Chain A
């Protein structure tokens, strides 16, 4: 029996193994490993590009404006659909996809600013050396500039954070002025431009990286915003001049970069897959089959098994359809809303003789798409309806319009297919319109008209020039309208409404759709625009977004956006 004693003693010793607790993690990398491996440093820098949201989240910014009718009753998007956003609920739109497509952006933006600052600090000094270092630092500065621009167009002046703070650092952040932010962004852009290649062709494996041209395009948009009524209340003409100069830097005719050209086919441009040849897009977010998006399935209608923007919530509005010109160059409606007698617009045949961009952007009753003729009508007695009518399914938008821009006209359509149509951040047509707007505000109406007309004379659009008889406020209206139409669904309208301070007009108009009643015996259709949503009355404070109330409480020296 005593033999057992040593046995137990041995057992006891086994159990005294102390290093059992020294286990290193098996599913993550330590920090030291990252900064000592060039491949991991590059991977770190690659991920910084995700700071810049694309526009293919479930909630596109169009449904926050008069471009689309947002019928989704939830998930944050509705606070813009009805303009009921407040400092308390604004964080509902701080995420991707369902959660607002990063409209709030504050948390997302500053998180990437810290990541960028960490990167820039690690790259300072000579400890880390590798071939592409200079270029990657310049790219990163561009990204920081882009983030700040996204912040200031939402909030006005924001705190400028140039270093990576550590946990335990006690800082009270204060807003810099809008102009200080612009200067800071401009400095980052200047630094970036000097170390970046001018551009990569769209077929190059580096296409999608920051370039000098991308930095110039951002500068153009930023200076345009800075000169606009919201941020330039005194209408300082020098600001407009800066905007004009920044745009000119990318326009060959004006002595700038002579590389870009309008892609001839307006519709095809937004159907190009990442990597296809074109020379219009200056900076874009690319996609691959393993890193793709579902925008067509989110936005097409039920016929294609898609969700019409989820619950049909991204259906283009009658408000937008009304703003497309006639092929004769006339606008179908006058300023007061009545039909323009010179236009030839027939309210009972509303899609006839319209700006070709209407058909390229929007699917309507009678449109042909992928070989199908779409039918949005409802029989007068309600007994029958077209397959694409809102009666058929809640995923057919109630407006009876479906988004066509960015939707592939061929190839598979299904939820288990990912799409690789790219998201353009900057393209030449916008630079033309930036230039036209700035020149107009500087009093150079001919120049302004010239560049608007360039956009209108793209081969597939081919609209008559805006005649020289259109001047002053009328011309401004046409420039604004050209931007609305050309850049529809590209995420611009939300900010254009605000910087132009036209929310009091356009956001107070009801959101409308189109009812199409069909007489089953005569086959005649009657078109009746229908009011779908009356938003909460517009207030000037809505031009800028509020900061979440919690955030102000955490940082009392951070002032809330005026009016909120």
Chain B
């Protein structure tokens, strides 16, 4: 907080001072005018910036491309600039009329790429950096920015595990897993580490770059998992531009497993009961469901007592809606640039009778002001109003109550009354049970000042102060609810109150996060002689974060009409409250040095001296360097002369040491927490409990990254290639020393020690092709990446058998019993070792060590994990006259998902099972089955239910049509610069290798909110 106060004291006079400087401008007398046209088409160019060099005086061209400007003298120079065109400086030389032809800019060469604390030209870049532009992000109709990144960037592994509105749990990894601990990359939005990427308005994004190698070393102790840099759009010095877009999407789960109908369910349950009772003689066995009952389930003659409920179609809507509105205004004049943006997203949930709803408003104002020729100040303020509403019961619970609900239970009686469902948890009752509502209001602000020191050419100072504030109110409101139940004795429908909640309960939680970050940089750029280009930057940054929350709880409300705390009972037994706080800080210094010889030989050095409060004094500061070099072969005469089709060819390499500090704070202190209370007499007594033992030497993980790359552009962009090979050694990984520490020591949780070592290697390939054939222009961009980790050391508990060790295998690889089909006959069972509960019809577990016993020693370590090793993406763009089409395919392989839930069938808990599981199950009459019997027994997780999660999907497709200008004028919409209709979709088609019965991208058990398929129609207007 102290820093912030000091900043406040300081910022005010700064601003006053700066404003004073502006007023020094005086009037001019001479006038120059002219018209600006495009070099290729010859048409006039509106919105071109024209300024007098060395001043802030300027204007921009009008709709007819003309301008007129007062200049101090006719000896000055005019500067013409326009986005996408080469800048021109024209000495006036006494003229008063100057017509200018602007040439469009070659796209590849001078393209700028955002890197840590700066921008660099793509052609002289030496790091391994991928970039995606904002327009690629908005092709996806997904409301979540992160899901639009899936498959777009080589080396970025994104998996969408669920589709719940506002809770899409996207798992982002850069180059796979590097550590046992947190593998999340650092996300930096407009220069500040921020974690609300998923809440950004996709339309605000200018571009996203990913630093994958040593180039991330400038982010020091937080960079080992890679860095994602997001830059938001800003206004340009042009006439005001307005953009309006509206879209309406239909969304539905990609794939919900088919579950058993009532008759099949009952049959399988009876089988299971028979097995559980030790397979008695049929005469000695009363099935739970009689043949007569099963008959009724099948023929539907009695929907009240013998229903056949398809819970999925009873509870889920066929589709739900998602609407988006966006409004953007941007522009600028000679010394001011602005962008105002507003976005609204309204997403509905997929359940019937369910309060799930997500509403998001995004607003952003970004202004840059050139106060003087050398001083620019700016502000970038974004606010987000996020309202998320969910049922008061957890989502996974709800999906269990849909997918695993017994199909012999009624969901809704024929007369429309809602039945209790599984455990009185019928999802159709959710709207009666209260809600869990979040109102989340993050505000991010950035204030910047850049000063080009006028008396030292190339020297610039930059400072920024950022303050983020996020307030979140959560209201968890739960109230008694009722349902109806058919009474078999009276034949009436009794109204019954559920016992899960007998009184109104309310929990209000107020959470607050703040972050202040101050950043100051000095940079210098010069050219020595003709060819030695040098640029350097050093900076310092301090960050401080606070989190606190307060919670209040009441129950026994007089009425459920007013969900406010003060309506609850004031009896002390009915009240509760809680709260806590935490604080963290960083302090660091960083820098970059670039040298190139004639843009041919490139060299870069970056560093960060990083201090993190997570670690004890003495271990807090670390130095993280990164060095990279490049050689642009295409600048060499021997290439130019002999291989003229090579437009660009570059070799690059880098090496760096980076850190990962994403571990719990204060692990160096022995601390105690309140809790573990007890009761004496009839009263509570407080308790305290020791936390994890301390490790006084704890420090960060170290990652050493080595990259080699080759970039080529051939035949002027007809073919592009970018190939990267990389290797990473992660050491000092924080792990519990497991091997040596018996539980008999009784330690209250072992502290992490910096002992783990993981090696990671992989490659990335990007190929691009673009061409025009007549009116058809198209581009293809394919990328694939591979990443495989290998554990080198983890102080592993010695395993019983050598093939069980985790060391030497990828992170996340599990232990499974090997399966070899089914024990189809009693003879097969008798002739082979089997576990204590095995019966004929069970999965045949292989006796791996041939000791005649099936036990834990027969498990083996797989080389597979749920994180894909290969990911690929293929984007194709076509443009033909007014039409444009984008198809984006994405996929993965070498990923394996274990689903233990799908294995269950016929359990005594009446959980329903997937058709996939039951269809060809073993029964006494189906001995050649491929699936195990109902109530199957295995000693533990077997690879029978470990699935190859390979898939390819049509992730996005978009078809658009822009109305020709002629037509626009005809219908009286001539003021529209651009009017485009489009239809697009997400997760449209999926080809899965093994997981065909549910969405292959979800992790773990199938009882969760699946990802969504979205079909979207929209309109976009520029004027």
Contacts and interface: CB of A to CB of B under 8 A. Distances in A.
Interface of A: 1, 3-4, 7-8, 10-12, 14-18, 20-23, 25-31, 34, 40, 42-44, 46-47, 49-50, 71-74, 82-84, 86-89, 106-107, 110-115, 117-118, 159, 161, 164-165, 167, 169-171, 173, 200, 203-209, 273-275, 285-291, 297, 304-307, 311, 313, 381-385, 387, 394-395, 398, 412-417, 420, 510, 515, 530-534, 536, 549-551, 553-555, 558
29 contacts: A3-B17, A8-B463, A11-B463, A21-B585, A21-B613, A27-B582, A31-B669, A47-B675, A50-B678, A84-B835, A88-B855, A88-B940, A110-B745, A115-B748, A165-B745, A173-B742, A205-B681, A274-B679, A275-B681, A275-B682, A286-B682, A304-B499, A384-B489, A394-B909, A530-B286, A531-B278, A551-B743, A554-B739, A558-B744
Contact of B584 (A23, A86, A159, A385): A23
Kindly name the residue among A7, A21, A112, A288 whose own CB sees the greatest number of chain B CB atoms within 10 A.
Answer: A21
A50 B577 CA distance: 23
A408 to B, nearest CB: 14
A305 B671 contact: no
Nearest to B856: A88
A274 B3 contact: no
B964 interface: no
Nearest to B614: A21
A167 B746 CA distance: 10
A534 B21 CA distance: 92
A31 B689 CA distance: 11
B837 interface: yes
Contacts of B133: none
Contacts, number: 309
Contacts of A44: 672, 687-688
B939 A21 contact: no
Contacts of B738: 554
Interface in B578-615: 580-587, 611-613
B599 to A, nearest CB: 31
Nearest to A418: B573
Nearest to A202: B681
Contacts of A88: 855-856, 939-940
Given A8-B461, A415-B502, A416-B555, A110 B744 contact: yes
The 5 closest A-B pairs by CB, nearest first: A305-B499, A114-B746, A47-B687, A275-B682, A534-B278
B454 A1 contact: yes
Given A111-B747, A553-B799, 13 more contacts: A14-B7, A17-B542, A21-B612, A31-B669, A40-B672, A84-B837, A88-B939, A165-B745, A167-B695, A208-B680, A288-B683, A290-B576, A531-B278
Given A306-B499, A414-B502, A26 B747 contact: no
Nearest to A72: B909
A558 B742 contact: yes
Contact of B748 (A8, A12, A114): A114
Contact of B909 (A43, A171, A311): A311
A311 B910 contact: yes
Given A30-B671, A31-B670, A71-B909, A291 B677 contact: yes
Contacts of B800: 549, 553
A528 to B, nearest CB: 8
Contacts of A550: 797
B576 to A, nearest CB: 8
Given A8-B451, A414-B499, A25 B681 contact: no
Contact of B17 (A7, A49, A115): A7
A15 B4 CA distance: 11
Interface string B82-120: 000000000000000000000000000000000000000
Contacts of A416: 501-503, 505, 555
Contacts of A47: 675-678, 687-689
A83 B685 CA distance: 39
B375 interface: yes
Given A16-B540, A18-B587, A28 B672 contact: yes
Given A1-B372, A47-B678, A398-B908, A167 B744 contact: no
A530 B743 CA distance: 43
A11 B502 contact: no
A17 B10 contact: no
Contact of A23 (B280, B540, B585, B681): B585
A21 B681 CA distance: 46
B6 A14 contact: yes
A288 B21 contact: no
B855 A7 contact: no
Interface string B437-463: 000000000000001001000000101
A25 B665 contact: yes
Nearest to B372: A1
Contacts of A554: 738-743, 797-798
B424 interface: yes
A324 to B, nearest CB: 24
Interface string B902-940: 001001111100000000000000000000000101011
B451 A167 contact: no
A376 B833 CA distance: 42
B742 A415 contact: no
Contacts of A414: 499, 501-503
Interface string B847-891: 000000001100000000000000000000000000000000000
B1001 to A, nearest CB: 26
B41 interface: no
A111 B748 CA distance: 6
B61 interface: no
Nearest to B272: A73
Nearest to A113: B746
Contacts of B587: 17-18, 20-21
Nearest to B454: A1
B830 interface: no
A84 B836 contact: yes
A357 to B, nearest CB: 27
A510 B688 contact: no
A86 B685 contact: no
Given A28-B666, A113-B746, A554-B797, A415 B501 contact: yes
A554 B666 CA distance: 28
B260 to A, nearest CB: 16
B414 interface: no
A208 B744 CA distance: 28
Contact of A288 (B540, B586, B679, B855): B679
Contacts of B293: 382
B10 to A, nearest CB: 7
Nearest to A164: B746
Interface string B745-758: 11110110000000
Contacts of A384: 488-489
A206 B984 CA distance: 70
Contacts of B740: 170, 554
A7 B688 CA distance: 51
Contacts of A164: 746
Contacts of A206: 680-681
Given A84-B837, A553-B797, A46 B743 contact: no
Contact of A28 (B617, B673, B686, B909): B673
A17 B3 contact: yes
B277 interface: yes
A31 B688 CA distance: 11
Interface string B250-285: 000000000000000000000000001110100010
B773 interface: no
Given A15-B520, A26-B580, A73-B909, A167 B501 contact: no
Interface in B654-713: 665-666, 669-691, 693, 695
Contacts of A113: 746
Interface in B613-642: 613, 617, 620
B680 A26 contact: no
B747 A207 contact: no
Given A27-B582, A113-B746, A536 B679 contact: no
